[in-house]
Chain A
Amino acid sequence: MLFNSLDFAIFLPIVFLLYWFVTKHNLKLQNALIVISSYVFYGWWDYRFLSLIIFSTLVDYIVGLQLKKADRKPKRQLLLWTSILVNIGFLGFFKYYNFFVDNFIDAFSFFGKQIQPNTLNIILPVGISFYTFQTLSYTIDVYRKKLEPTRNFMAFAAFVSFFPQLVAGPIERATNLLPQFYNKRAFNYNKAVDGLRQILWGLFKKIVIADNCAFFVNTIFDGHGGYSGSTLLIGVVFFAFQIYGDFSGYSDIAIGTARLFGFDLKQNFAFPYFSRDIAEFWRRWHISLSTWFRDYVYIPLGGSRVSKLLQIRNVLIIFLVSGFWHGANWTFIVWGLLNGLYFLPLMLMKRNRKHLEVVANNSVLPSIRELIAMLITFGITVFAWIFFRAESISQAFSYIKGMLEKSLFSIPEVRPTFLILLIGIFIVIEWMGRRNLYAIEKLWLSYPKPLRLGIYYVIAIVIFLYGGKEQEFIYFQF
């Protein structure tokens, strides 16, 4: 079920009313309702793949309980690896099987050997990269004794399948989300209103910004050979806004929806395009994934407390793995590598934690220096996005070659003035709200209520006018 669909617009109020009116006095019932609703939400897309979620839930639940009983390290390790193999096994099979087979074929044919193994017509289950990482975090934290394993199966099943963040994150840690299922949730008016506000802003980002950019991005990338350098530049800048609007919009809707049910999810995007260097960008972009890799891959590898050479290895590993997580294509790997290469100089010069505060925290506008730093960071990020968006490495290089021709300084053939104006307004609103969890969290709270509601009303109507054809979220494919 898509957040931007009529189905979800009907589904959400029904679940909300059942949750707060029918099951509110019974925690077990409330959790059971969440599990059932989540399975309906997921099954709406393809009920057959519910079996994967249920199996993953059962395995990690049992592994968690067994870890509590097991004292001996080998047994604990065996249990941990059981969970890792099951979860990564699902992910590997559904997401990467054909990629590896194709690359083996290519490698063998490079050495003059022809092999013909079977590739399979595999459907990638929506959200598999998200919920497998979420359940893995539970097992790893239990293994590390940072978290008590749960005996409450319904709470655990609800934690794994919680529908607001099931298919595209944020990837929640068991330490943050699971305990919330143990306690009775009390309805909080302000929290619920805040949730609705965040949903509204998420829909705006997705439908008005991302989907509008998508039209031009698809046109320009698909026919990139026939466009001037300046148009290709516009194409990739639009993609930067498309992917931001799409993914952070989804996260906003997910977090807002969770708030309606009394849950607090972690912030997933913190205005990444206002970053002054790439290290800051990665602290602000897809935070739940970056921190997952930091805690479960980077730190166990030694993090930054090892020799320079190993530090470089560790950084490149997490960026490459992060790229590969996004999809079984060399384009994502190159995208990850590029970001790793951007990051390395900062780390080696120990400047990767230079910008921890929000830009221009005490002023309205950024300084010239900050502005230049933001533009440079945005520029190199946009360059890397070319690989992320391209269908293949050769298309990415062809795109870059076309973009860097003399025609880069010509007037672009594609000039969607209205969309550029919309993006301009969007940037201003995001800038004004950059100190908050999402742009409009506190933006107009000081205004008289009728005016504030009027602004929300206009946003809702604009969303309707720009809506129409439902567009899938990009991150569903990951």
Chain B
Amino acid sequence: MKRFITHTVIFSFAFFIGVFLLILLADGSADESYEKFSSPKQSALIVGSSRAGQGLIPEILNSTLDEHSFYNYAFSIRNTPYGEPYYRSIKKKLDPETNNSGFIICVTPWTISATTEDPEDSLNYRELGSAIDRTHFVSMDPNIEYIIESYQQKNMNFILKKFKKGDYQTFFVHDDGWLEVVIESDMISTKERTDNKVNSYRKKQKNEYTGVSQHRLKYLERIIELLVPKGRVYLLRIPINDDMYEIENLLDPQFDERMSAIAKKYNIHYINEMDTRAEYDYTDGHHLTIESSKRFSKKIADQIKAFDIE
């Protein structure tokens, strides 16, 4: 028996060393989440869904706002509508020593709405069981827990994708958490993608989403309450194209009033950039192009700087 256990332990140990060395190769090309869960705890966060993940570039924000070191901790609409899992994750990602920092909370009607029959049925929210819910260690490098438990692809993909970085239809999460999506930018591809995206969101609004959830709004407020003592908090609505805006207005016609009320309650700024939507280009009507993300990030940085000076 001793011999068996010794041999098994040695073999297993060698196996785990091999697995560990392989996981060391994982980086921002693995998927949209790995890098965000393997970076250290952060003091200035951008939170929200993929619109924020792609649209706000911390490097540009930080170059204008010297005193902050923003990290983009926004994921996707599947993972990070406002609720218990995202709240927990943000709490873990936040450096406990943080003070006098800055936080950008990106809001959309989707992130405060539910897909359950009863919008308050939080026990059946779609993000339960997702990576954001399952990942307990959000600052582990390499993040073995994430790869073993939550990585949704074959493990070899986190190696193979390293060699495809920069190719068309690939993405890469930078060290600052920004999700850079490389995608065809010709008119035909963009129009096709936009049509598909708008149609899919129209269907989502009609068939999947059941309305604004008080439970989600409560968690949005809990996140604000968590961050306010640690620095200045900004609520931000990132622009989208006209069609998507129309769908969002159907989902929640009172969205801006809601956000303004929350901002007033906590004495924070609500930056609504929806009126500037014609100034930007979108990859699919929903996400800013890289070029537009750069311009948008610079604009937001300037606004925050102006608020900070006030």
**Hey, which bits of chain A sit against chain B, CB under 8 A?**
6, 20, 187, 189, 192-193, 196, 453, 456-457, 460-461, 464-469
Contact = CB atoms under 8 A, between A and B. Distances in A.
A12 B235 CA distance: 49
B11 interface: yes
Interface string B1-26: 10110011001001100110010000
28 contacts: A20-B1, A187-B1, A189-B1, A189-B3, A189-B4, A192-B4, A193-B4, A196-B8, A457-B11, A457-B14, A460-B15, A460-B18, A461-B19, A461-B22, A464-B15, A464-B18, A465-B22, A465-B154, A465-B155, A466-B154, A466-B155, A467-B154, A467-B155, A468-B151, A468-B157, A469-B152, A469-B153, A469-B154
Contacts, number: 49
B156 interface: yes
A422 to B, nearest CB: 12
Instruction: Name the 4 nearest CB pairs between A and B, nearest first.
Output: A465-B156, A468-B154, A468-B155, A187-B1
A426 B152 CA distance: 25
Given A6-B149, A469-B153, 9 more contacts: A187-B1, A460-B15, A461-B18, A464-B19, A466-B154, A466-B155, A468-B155, A468-B157, A469-B154
Contacts of B1: 20, 187, 189
Interface residues of B, number: 21
Nearest to B1: A187
Contacts of B3: 189
A453 B11 contact: yes
A461 B15 CA distance: 7
Interface of B: 1, 3-4, 7-8, 11, 14-15, 18-19, 22, 148-149, 151-157, 159
Nearest to B145: A6
B4 A464 contact: no
Given A6-B149, A189-B3, A192-B4, A457 B18 contact: yes
Given A6-B148, A457-B15, A461-B15, A466 B156 contact: yes
Contacts of B4: 187, 189, 192-193
Contacts of B154: 465-469
Contacts of A469: 151-154
A460 B155 CA distance: 13
Nearest to A460: B15
Contacts of A20: 1
A187 B18 CA distance: 30
Contacts of A465: 22, 154-156, 159
A336 B29 CA distance: 47
B143 to A, nearest CB: 14
B290 to A, nearest CB: 29
A233 B14 CA distance: 41
A461 B18 CA distance: 7
A461 B20 CA distance: 11
Contacts of B8: 196
Contacts of B149: 6
A189 B3 CA distance: 8
B14 A464 contact: no
Q: Which of B11, B154, B157, B159 has the most CB of A within 10 A?
A: B154
Given A20-B1, A189-B4, A453-B11, A468 B152 contact: yes
B10 to A, nearest CB: 9
A464 B157 contact: no
Contacts of B22: 461, 464-465
